[in-house]
Copies of this chain bind each other. A is one copy, B any other.
Amino acid sequence: MTTHELLYLDDLVVGAEYRSAEHGLDAGQTVAFAREFDPQPFHLDAEAAKNSLFQGLSASGWHTAAITMKLLVGSVPLGNGIIGAGIEMQWPRPTRPDDTLHVVSRIVEIVPSRSKPDRGIVTVESLTLNQHGETCQRLVSKLVVMRRPA
């Protein structure tokens, strides 16, 4: 299987891992995202961030999530796209403005649909890691994955 081949439900195997490319952050990106979507002092202002729970400037968790999605689109080549029905997510440690992130995804469970035989629900755990190998985000997604078209 080449890396360009699109994957459908029957191609997936529990335990298979997919590693993404890297995304390098900087304070320009993290502050711009926070200003638009998460305008809180600990994401915007280094002085204010020092005295926050984060003890320093951090990226919005939603920014980490959005970058994770971009990296998933590039690393998990599902034929019908990456369509999440629902997710669970934790941020065990802050993403810092100078972090370089990558995502390692692992297939946890594959459940064919009973009511809709053309698809299934695939549970994928995606860890978003910084340049030290530390987990900044743990995402568990239930994805809708179609069978290969006839």
Contacts and interface: CB of A to CB of B under 8 A. Distances in A.
| Copies of this chain assembled into the complex | 2
A42 B33 CA distance: 23
Given A86-B91, A89-B87, A38 B61 contact: no
A81 B61 CA distance: 13
B70 A84 contact: no
Secondary structure at the A interface, as helix, strand, loop or mixed, is mixed
Interface in A76-96: 80-91
A37 interface: yes
Contacts of A11: none
A145 B91 CA distance: 16
A61 B83 CA distance: 9
6 interchain residue pairs of minimum CB distance: A86-B90, A37-B66, A40-B81, A62-B66, A37-B70, A38-B69
Given A36-B70, A86-B90, A89-B89, 13 more contacts: A33-B66, A37-B66, A38-B73, A39-B70, A39-B73, A52-B80, A53-B83, A62-B66, A66-B66, A86-B89, A87-B88, A87-B89, A88-B89
